[in-house]
Amino acid sequence: MNSEGKEFLAKLMRYCAIQERCKQEVYQKLSKLSCPKSLEEPIIIELENLNFLSEQRFAQAFARGKFEIKSWGKQKIFAELSKKGIANDHIKLGLEEIEEKKYLERLDSLIERKHKELSVKERYNRMELKQRILKYAMQKGYEFSLVMSAVDRLLFRK
């Protein structure tokens, strides 16, 4: 690699050291840095060889982060990782980072919180309330069958 390539590589090493990145983000960064197209692929390969770039590690960190911080469901995480060009194998490994028990507890917690919020704001009949809660949980990316059973548990235990 020539000196220009080494400069871009050094910048990208710093960029990838800050947080996990996917190839798509690295390509975008290279484009912003006006890196010649001929250098992009060798730089990506070198970042992978030096372990600065790993799509699997990115998928795992992304899944953990979006679940823990934003309470996203697996479907939304899967969709967002797919948009970033992450392979399904890596996405599946990323989703395995989410503990099933925690996942179901988080869903119950979200539904309960939304139920309280809606109950305080306005008077809805049971069907309207159920529809609004379903819509909310589905937008968060939780699976329909899990959401349905969680909502039924919440609404019909009272």
Q: Answer whether residue 158 shows pLDDT above 60.
A: no
Which tokens go with 93?
Answer: 């490994």
Which tokens go with 148?
Answer: 């349905």
Q: pTM surpassing 0.85?
A: yes
d(CA 42, CA 25): 16
pLDDT at 12: 96
d(CA 63, CA 9): 27
Query: 46 CB contacts (<8 Å, ≥6 apart)?
Result: 1, 9
User: How many CB atoms sit inside 10 A of residue 1's CB?
Assistant: 12
Q: What's the farthest any 2 CA atoms get from each other in the chain?
A: 70
Which tokens go with 82?
Answer: 């797919």
pLDDT at 157: 64
Q: What percent of the chain has pLDDT over 70?
A: 97
Q: What is the domain partition of the chain in residue ranges?
A: 3-53, 56-95, 100-156
Predicted confidence (pLDDT) per residue in 36-93, tens digit = 999 999 999 999 999 999 999 999 999 999 999 999 999 999 999 999 999 999 999 9
CATH 3.40.190.10: does it fit domain 3-53?
A: no
Which tokens go with 78?
Answer: 């899967």
Q: Smallest Cα–Cα separation from 35: which of 10, 55, 58?
A: 10
